[in-house]
Amino acid sequence: MKLHTKILLTLVALFTLSFAGFEDAQASKAADTDVSYSAVYKVAKQNLGKPYVYGATGPSAFDCSGFTSYVYKKAASVTLPRTAQAQYNAGQKVSYKNLQKGDLVFFGWNAASISHVGLYIGNGKMIDAQNRGVITETVKAPWWNYVGSAHVVNFDSDNDTDD
């Protein structure tokens, strides 16, 4: 391999690696933040019925990741990445059986093609922004292909708000 090709490949690898920890750092910072689940739930519930608009980040309309970003920013001063895929990549993965209220639930074809996110509120339900607006629905609804879940913050001990 020619020297300039090796140098170019090395530079590309270093450039790529320099961004590898960026989203993980956001997730770590968020996961270390103790917040109140009831505050997150309250903000989410206050936005039920608002319309879905692709690319909208609130407060009058939302898309799915705009909704989750808005809720966490407003309730807990936690900044989440803007897209559903980036939120999935940044969060600490948890299995469905270990879901906690306030975790994010993700949908798509697979982990590399996340296209939707919702806020888990317990009992198999989530609040999400989708074509019917901001609504409460079941995580395992037949029109969603559940891919995974992520823990984005540590909640205080008030994780018992019921819907």
Supply the residues annotated as catalytic.
64, 116, 128
**What three-state secondary structure class fits 146?**
strand
What are the helix and strand counts (H, E) for the chain?
Answer: 5, 8
How many of the other CB atoms lie within 10 Å of CB of 35? 20
For residues 63, 64, 69 and 75, what is the CA-based torsion angle, rounded to 10 degrees?
100
